[in-house]
Amino acid sequence: MSGTGFKPRVLLPNALDPDAENRLGQHAELLRPDATDSKSLCAAIADCDALIVRTHTPVTRELLSAGKRLCVVGVAGVGLDNVDLAAAEALGIKVLSKPDAASDAVAELTVALMLQLLRPIPGLAEQYRTGSFRQARAAAHGDELREKTVGIIGMGRIGSRVARICRAGFGAHVFYNDIVDVGPLSFDATCAEQADVFARSDIITLHVPLTDATRGMIDASALEQFKPLALLINTARGAVVDTDALRAALNADSLAGAALDVVTPEPLPVDHELFQCEHCILTPHIAARTHSGLRNMMGIADDVLAHLLRSAPRS
């Protein structure tokens, strides 16, 4: 395609940041659909060479099939569970994402959530703000991460960062489980069966993709295997945790607390019982959304453009 004078057409159902769009627009024609429902996208993609979406836009077999010239799909995010990968492969369409764009951002938020569950900082700060300085200091509170055993489910890009911070940074003990051999690590961590990680960990943090194997992984049966008064962190995918089972465990005080950046359904209704739970922290799916994390994810524009410029147009 390079050198032919032909400008590829890129469909953008979701806005990217201005810098990414400017870089893309120097070499490609950008098209914005009138609406983002399936019918509108299928009509708009018919003569496009590329599609770039955010992680909340479904890229279905129907949409991929409607792109007769489509050769590449870019996802401005880490995961690909919004894309029908089998359909893309069958149709010869390349799928690109930015899997490492926000690994540090997600890992750091994960550890921050651990610390907030261990030490109720916002509540103590509120006591001080409202004049209860002495009352806030009257009794010991919380625990140190150094004293805890942290269980990592999924020792990939993010899980391994969390494990390193917990072990090398805080001195916590680390157990982990992964479906593949993660190889030698630069810090002390013990590989164990999943059930053993559940049973031995004071804090369990999830860092797995959403697949048929991980959907609903943390259900009532799994929660029963947890150490009494354990803490659960989920910054992976909401559907990995059975929301109803988690709510029941928190209400029964069999868990000491949970921190969830992702949930199912998302967003939760404002009257959902988890919002009323004193020991449940809910953040609005913002683990990756630091300035650096978003900037890195927007680099998908450059990856898609590079693929287009080295590929022949599809007729």
Which helix or strand (DSSP H or E) is residue 51 part of?
A: strand 50-53
Indicate left, alpha or beta for 275 from its phi (over 0: left) and psi (-120 to 50: alpha).
Answer: alpha
144 labelled catalytic: no
| 3-state DSSP assignment of residue 315 | coil
pLDDT beyond 90 at 2: no
Domains 9-99+293-309 and 103-287 share a fold: yes
Half-sphere exposure of 61 (CA within 13 A, CB side): 4
Among 69, 164, 200, 285, the one annotated catalytic: 285
Residue 81 has a pLDDT of 87
CA dist 52 and 134 (Å) reads: 55
In the set 62, 266, 272, 279, the catalytic residue is 266
Q: What is the dihedral of CA 24, 28, 30, 31, to 10 degrees?
A: -150
In 3D, which of 238, 239, 246, 236 has the Cα closest to residue 273? 246
Tens digits of per-residue pLDDT, 21-30? 999 999 999 9
Catalytic residue status for 266: yes
The string of pLDDT tens digits covering residues 275-313 is 999 899 999 999 999 999 999 999 999 999 999 988 766
Q: What's the pLDDT at 313?
A: 61
The pair of three-digit structure tokens given for residue 260, joined into one six-digit string: 């969830």
In total, the chain counts a number of residues equal to: 315
The per-residue pLDDT for 234 is 98
The answer on pLDDT for 17 being more than 80 is yes
* pLDDT value of residue 1: 47
Backbone angles phi, psi at 264, to 5 degrees: -130, 125
The per-residue pLDDT for range 20-56, each reduced to its tens digit, is 999 999 999 999 999 999 999 999 999 999 999 998 8
Four-way CATH pick for 103-287: 1.10.1200.10, 1.10.3720.10, 3.90.870.10, 3.40.50.720: 3.40.50.720
Tokens of 235: 């910054």
CA–CA dist 159, 213 (Å, integer): 18
User: How many CB atoms within 10 Å of residue 14?
Assistant: 13
CA distances from 56 to 79, 119, 258 (A): 10, 33, 24
Alpha helices in 167-219 (DSSP H): 194-200
Task: Tell me the pLDDT tens digit for each residue of 168-185.
Answer: 999 999 999 999 999 899
Domain ranges of the chain: 9-99+293-309, 103-287
The full DSSP string for 92-153 is: T-EEE--TTTTHHHHHHHHHHHHHHHHS-HHHHHHHHHTT-HHHHHSS-----GGG-EEEEE
Taking the mean position of all CA atoms in its chain, how far away is CA 164? Answer: 19
Fold of 9-99+293-309: Rossmann fold (3.40.50)
Catalytic residue among 167, 173, 237, 307: 237
**Token pair in block for residue 276:** 């009323």
Q: What is the phi-psi region of residue 3: left when phi exceeds 0, alpha when psi lies from -120 to 50, beta otherwise?
A: left
| CB neighbour list of residue 300: distance below 8 Å, 6 or more residues apart | 20, 52, 74, 75, 76, 96, 97, 98
pTM of the complete model: 0.89
pLDDT at 310: 86
Tokens of 151: 């269980």
- Does the structure show a pLDDT above 70 at 142? yes
- Taking CA 310 as the corner, what is the angle to CA 82 and CA 28, rounded to the nearest 5 degrees? 70
> What tokens does 158 get?
């993010």
H or E, element range at 30: strand 29-31
* pLDDT for 41: 97
Q: Kindly tell me if the per-residue pLDDT of 125 is higher than 90.
A: yes
> Would you give the distance in Å from CA 286 to the centre of its chain?
9
